[in-house]
Amino acid sequence: MTTILGLSGSLRRASFNAGLLRAAAEVAAEGCRIEIGSIKDVPLYDGDLEAAQGLPQAVQTLQAQLRAADGLLLVSPEYNNGIPGVFKNAIDWMSRGDGLKAFVGKPVAVIGASPGGFGTILAQNHWLPVLRTLKCQLWTAERLLVSRAGGLFDAEGNLTDDKTRELLRTFVAGFAASIRD
């Protein structure tokens, strides 16, 4: 069984990206499981907090999930042409302590959904230096940029578009196959 940790970079309940992640878990083929993690309870990074109290429980949980996973799927919104601060903050926390070891060599893929016409191309590109620094193995064989997401998701943030669901199925299958190879 190939296990992929999936993280959405949005905290909004009806987020397009959280919905895209849920849909990815639904369309994962037999032999692949996407475990959905949460960045919701990760506090803002504070070195003083880390020194005084160690890693917060939410960070320890994410680190354990990442260590146990065969790959990592980042489902990233694009805010002001870049990575959402809350998402970058969670990844920064996850790399603390011995957390960096879990990133080194870990297969990672990045997808995202946006109401705009260009999908999340700039945010996905913005992740490149971060993932390079973490020494991840970035999967670039395919790319998934979901644009004009407002018409593809319902009011609860669930993916309703069959064409996008099929593109997602192909993407997840390709990523999972690359991990197994």
Q: Which tens digit of pLDDT belongs to each residue from 19-55?
A: 999 999 999 999 999 999 999 999 999 999 999 999 9
Q: Which of 100, 123, 95 is nearest to 8 (CA)?
A: 123
101 burial via Cβ count (<10 Å: 0-12, 13-18, 19+): middle
Q: What is the mean pLDDT of residues 149-172?
A: 98
Instruction: Kindly tell me if the per-residue pLDDT of 181 is higher than 90.
Output: no
Give the domain extent around 148.
Answer: 2-180
Q: How many domains does the chain have?
A: 1
Q: Above pLDDT 90, what percent of the chain? A: 99
Instruction: Kindly tell me if the per-residue pLDDT of 104 is higher than 90.
Output: yes
Confidence tier at 103 by pLDDT (50, 70, 90): very high
- Contact by Cβ (8 Å): 55, 61: no
Q: Which of 66, 80, 48, 79 is nearest to 4 (CA)?
A: 66
Q: What is the mean pLDDT of residues 161-181?
A: 97
Q: What is the CATH number of the domain that holds 130?
A: 3.40.50.360
Residues in Cβ contact with 31 at an 8 Å cutoff, skipping those fewer than 6 apart: 1, 2, 176
Q: Give the model confidence (pLDDT) of 53-99 as tens digits.
A: 999 999 999 999 999 999 999 999 999 999 999 999 999 999 999 99
